[in-house]
């Protein structure tokens, strides 16, 4: 990889521009997922049908992840991000104009491709120019600002009619702002050599997975939760409390995103101070406790937030959002620590691949569970996924030293 000589000022400028751009465009995802789910329900579609439609978006993420080691080295980071922005903006324009369930499959698939290009290239670029000594803190800042973008989407969505064009125009506006922020970064692009551009695709993905399965599989769990929550958290809340409490449903997503804002820098700071593998495990089990407590506290949504019931509910939702974000922050910090150059592209691609697979499974799993056993299928299905991963990650961490001694990765 040929890297331009970056002065401290240029490095800082690049980080600020990238972080700002990716944070702004993240608003589009947190806005469109719940809006599209609500629109489909208003048209009379069932939870499984809604989940199938949502899964198409994650299928696009999977496709890009499989091809990332071919696409990104050839395009370069900046052009890959710009292509992603163009695809996202185009699909946001088409979505409200073609309100057809089957057309949305293709549109959301392309939307997933655009989002995956954006964040796979962006995450890799940021990680590539960071020093490991402060990697966790900078990625904590990146996640904090990114989660702030995620928090904005549900606020906007709760105030807008999903059957109008306005939510999508807001998303397009966010994409235009992101493109403007990216403009100056062309001066500090990092190039790939010819050998790296010819690097193998699937073989390289397999190699990085074998080297770090624990952290890469955390992305699959994150994808299951993200897809399930963004598609059904607000619908679950309305099922339990009543359809008239639509804004409380969106507040569940928003408060979770708000919690993520405040957890990320502390998580990144801790990732620079303690064993990052154990920090990942701790975050997983705190998340598990928060998810398990949520259905027992949901009635607190009917009370003022400053009452004990309200504080307990919104506090638990903040913790689950914060720990989900912390899992992402610690995960990409571990990737930047272990991989460089095209291997880092491959690692981020696998991270996105498992996020996409998890994102496809999550809505399908949650939607089917809610269809079969009622609203309680929402928290129950998510708790089972987190518990399974938590046991796996704990075992891998406890046996890590022995595997490293044998040369078998993490």
Q: What is the CATH number of the domain that holds 17?
A: 1.20.1250.20
On whether the CB atoms of residues 366 and 382 are closer than 8 A, the answer is yes
In the prediction, which pLDDT does 202 show? Answer: 66
> How many domains does the chain fold into?
1
316-331 average pLDDT score: 89
Burial code of 247-256, b = ≥16 C-beta within 10 A, e = fewer? bbbbbbbbbb
In the prediction, which pLDDT does 393 show? Answer: 93
Q: Distance between CA 13 and CA 122 in Å, rounded?
A: 15
DSSP string covering 44-111, please? T--HHHHHHHHHHHHHHHHHHHHHHHHHHHHH-HHHHHHHHHHHHHHHHHHGGG---HHHHHHHHHHH
Residue 249 belongs to what domain range? 8-405
387-399 pLDDT, tens digit each: 999 999 999 888 8
Q: Distance between CA 55 and CA 22 in Å, rounded?
A: 22
290-314 average pLDDT score: 86
On whether the CB atoms of residues 175 and 89 are closer than 8 A, the answer is yes
Question: What SS3 state is found at 287?
Answer: helix
Q: Distance between CA 301 and CA 178 in Å, rounded?
A: 35
On whether the CB atoms of residues 196 and 6 are closer than 8 A, the answer is no
Q: Distance between CA 215 and CA 341 in Å, rounded?
A: 18
Residue 193, pLDDT above cutoff 60:
no
- The answer to whether position 261 is within a domain reads yes
- The answer to whether position 171 is within a domain reads yes
71-94 average pLDDT score: 90
Residue 6, pLDDT above cutoff 70:
no
Which residue, chain included where needed, has tokens 């890799």? 124
Residue 174, pLDDT above cutoff 80:
yes
225-235 pLDDT, tens digit each: 988 887 788 78
294-314 average pLDDT score: 84
Q: Distance between CA 56 and CA 46 in Å, rounded?
A: 16
On whether the CB atoms of residues 184 and 13 are closer than 8 A, the answer is yes
In the prediction, which pLDDT does 104 show? Answer: 93
> Rg of the chain over CA atoms, in angstroms?
20
Residue 221, pLDDT above cutoff 70:
yes
Task: Please give the helix or strand (H or E) that residue 282 lies within, else none.
Answer: helix 276-297
Residue 150, pLDDT above cutoff 80:
no
288-299 average pLDDT score: 90
Phi–psi pair at 2, nearest 5 degrees: -95, 115
In the prediction, which pLDDT does 191 show? Answer: 61
Six token digits for residue 211: 């080297």
Residue 374, pLDDT above cutoff 60:
yes
Six token digits for residue 318: 């903040």
On whether the CB atoms of residues 65 and 120 are closer than 8 A, the answer is yes
- The answer to whether position 244 is within a domain reads yes
Average pLDDT over the chain, rounded to an integer: 83
User: 83 burial class (0-12, 13-18, 19+ CB within 10 angstroms)?
Assistant: middle
204-219 pLDDT, tens digit each: 777 888 888 888 899 8
Identify which of 24-28, 73-77, 251-255, 289-293 has the greatest average pLDDT.
289-293
On whether the CB atoms of residues 363 and 301 are closer than 8 A, the answer is no
What is the share, in percent, of the chain residues with pLDDT greater than 70? Answer: 91
> Would you give the distance in Å from CA 285 to the centre of its chain?
19
- The answer to whether position 65 is within a domain reads yes
Residue 266, pLDDT above cutoff 70:
yes
- The answer to whether position 112 is within a domain reads yes
In the prediction, which pLDDT does 387 show? Answer: 96
On whether the CB atoms of residues 86 and 172 are closer than 8 A, the answer is no
Residue 255, pLDDT above cutoff 80:
yes
Task: Tell me which residue of 57, 238, 21, 34 sits closest to 156, measured CA to CA.
Answer: 34
Predicted confidence band at 403 (pLDDT cuts at 50, 70, 90)? low
Q: Distance between CA 321 and CA 312 in Å, rounded?
A: 14
In the prediction, which pLDDT does 402 show? Answer: 66
- The answer to whether position 292 is within a domain reads yes
Full-model pTM: 0.76
Phi–psi pair at 328, nearest 5 degrees: -65, -45
Q: Distance between CA 341 and CA 336 in Å, rounded?
A: 10
DSSP string covering 333-367, please? HHHHHH--HHHHHHHHHHHHHHHHHHHHHHHHHHH
Q: Distance between CA 56 and CA 104 in Å, rounded?
A: 9
- The answer to whether position 2 is within a domain reads no
In the prediction, which pLDDT does 91 show? Answer: 93
- The answer to whether position 1 is within a domain reads no
41-67 pLDDT, tens digit each: 888 888 788 888 888 887 888 888 888
116-135 pLDDT, tens digit each: 888 888 888 888 777 778 88
């Amino acid at each position: 990889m040929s890297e331009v000589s970056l002065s401290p000022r240029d490095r800082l400028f690049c980080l600020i521009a990238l972080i700002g751009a990716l944070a702004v465009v993240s608003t589009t995802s947190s806005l469109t997922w719940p809006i599209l789910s609500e629109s489909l329900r208003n048209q009379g579609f069932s939870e499984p049908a809604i989940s199938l439609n949502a899964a198409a978006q994650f299928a696009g993420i999977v496709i890009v992840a499989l091809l990332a080691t071919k696409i990104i080295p050839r395009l370069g980071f900046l052009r890959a991000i710009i292509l992603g922005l163009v695809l996202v903006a185009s699909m946001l324009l088409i979505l409200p104009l073609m309100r057809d369930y089957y057309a949305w499959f293709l549109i959301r698939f392309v939307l997933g491709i655009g989002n995956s290009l954006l964040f796979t290239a962006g995450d890799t670029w940021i990680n590539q120019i960071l020093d490991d000594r402060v990697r966790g803190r900078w990625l904590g800042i990146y996640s904090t600002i990114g989660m702030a973008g995620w928090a904005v989407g549900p606020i906007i969505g709760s105030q807008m009619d999903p059957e109008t064009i306005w939510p999508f125009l807001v998303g397009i506006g966010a994409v235009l702002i992101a493109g403007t922020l990216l403009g100056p970064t062309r001066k500090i692009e990092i190039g790939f050599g010819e050998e790296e551009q010819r690097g193998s695709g699937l073989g390289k993905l397999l190699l990085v997975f074998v080297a770090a399965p624990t952290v890469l599989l955390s992305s699959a769990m994150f994808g299951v939760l993200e897809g399930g929550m963004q598609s059904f958290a607000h619908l679950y809340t309305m099922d339990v409390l009543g359809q008239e409490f639509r804004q409380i449903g969106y507040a569940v997503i928003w408060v979770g995103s708000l919690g993520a804002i405040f957890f990320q820098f502390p998580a990144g700071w801790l990732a620079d101070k303690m064993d990052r593998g154990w920090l990942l495990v701790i975050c997983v089990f705190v998340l598990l406790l928060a998810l398990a407590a949520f259905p027992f506290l949901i009635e607190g949504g009917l009370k003022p937030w400053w009452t004990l019931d309200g504080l307990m509910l919104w506090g638990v939702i903040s913790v689950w959002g914060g720990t989900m974000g912390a899992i992402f922050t610690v995960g990409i910090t571990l990737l930047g620590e272990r991989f460089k150059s095209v291997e880092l592209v491959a690692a981020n691609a696998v991270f996105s691949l498992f996020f996409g697979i998890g994102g496809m499974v999550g809505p399908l799993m949650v939607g089917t569970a809610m269809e079969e056993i009622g609203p309680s299928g929402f928290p129950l299905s998510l708790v089972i996924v987190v518990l399974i991963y938590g046991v796996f990650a704990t075992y891998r961490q406890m046996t890590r030293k022995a595997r490293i001694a044998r040369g078998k990765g993490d």
